[in-house]
Amino acid sequence: MEATTRARVPHKLTDKGQATRARILEHAAELIYTKGVHATNNEQLRRAAGVSGSQLNHYFPTKESLVLAVIAWQADRVLAFHRGERFASFDDLDAFREWADFYGGYERAYQEGCSLGSLASEIIKTDLDVHDELASAFDHWRDIFRDGLQHMQRLGRISTDADPTQLANLLLSAFQGGSLLAQVARDITPLKDALQAAIDYVQTFVRSPEVDVLQVR
């Protein structure tokens, strides 16, 4: 993720150092999610992560450096999950259906919402210079869907009339909006409905084998 390089570790860390830094980030992400950026302070983070003030300042000398690292950490988790073998690079409609089914069947989805989206909603309200990093995180996420749809198009699985970028925006927006509504309603149904509607629309561009046979003739 190019735009999050400001948050990368500035020097090589030992295994213990990497573990300590990761623990701080995990607890920082949770505190920012539950309390907000401004309400999260060093004392709370020190207690939650079990580190000293000097350790915290060593890894993250400023609040902005901490928030940048939290964005990168959370984005990396989301992107790694979506790039895993489970969804087969999103190169067919079944992969998108499995993605929707996973979140629709995740019992805590309506409680937790989208981890990256929830983080963004807290951070975007601050005056920290991190908006580019947030935008980059969502761009990379959207690109996973777009790349899969472009591959489907090259394979002839969806029509050339389809706009992969537009469809990728639709899928990500359906997930973000559905997650928020599910949280508010404390019911997974809005998320399931939003994802189903988005995938149903993508399906309208799917080419059937019968069409290909007719075109060959």
CB 149 within 8 A of CB 162: yes
Per-residue pLDDT, averaged over 112-137, amounts to 87
pLDDT at 210: 45
pLDDT tens column, 4-18: 434 455 567 788 989
Pick the CATH number of 8-61 from 3.40.920.10, 3.30.1490.100, 1.10.357.10, 1.10.10.60: 1.10.10.60
Q: Which has the higher per-residue pLDDT, 189 or 128?
A: 189
Q: How many CB atoms lie within 10 A of CB 132?
A: 13
Q: Distance between CA atoms of 53 and 60, rounded to whole angstroms?
A: 10
pTM of the predicted protein model: 0.84
Q: Which has the higher per-residue pLDDT, 129 or 49?
A: 49
pLDDT at 11: 61
pLDDT at 119: 86
φ, ψ of residue 130 in degrees (nearest 5) = -130, 10
Tell me the percentage of the chain whose pLDDT exceeds 90. Answer: 64
pLDDT at 121: 86
pLDDT at 216: 38
Q: Per the structure block, which two tokens stand in for 108?
A: 């805590």
Q: Per the structure block, which two tokens stand in for 133?
A: 């990093």
Domains of the chain, residue spans: 8-61, 67-206
> Per CATH, the architecture of 67-206 is what?
Orthogonal Bundle (1.10)
**Segment among 19-28, 98-107, 152-161 with least mean pLDDT:** 98-107
pLDDT at 182: 92
pLDDT at 214: 37
Q: Which has the higher per-residue pLDDT, 95 or 211?
A: 95
pLDDT tens column, 57-104: 999 999 899 999 999 999 999 999 999 888 878 999 999 999 999 998
CB 98 within 8 A of CB 140: no
- Quick one: which of 211, 199, 206 has its CA closest to 158? 206
Q: Which has the higher per-residue pLDDT, 4 or 115?
A: 115
Tell me if domain 8-61 and domain 67-206 are identical in fold: no
Q: Is the pLDDT of residue 212 over 50?
A: no
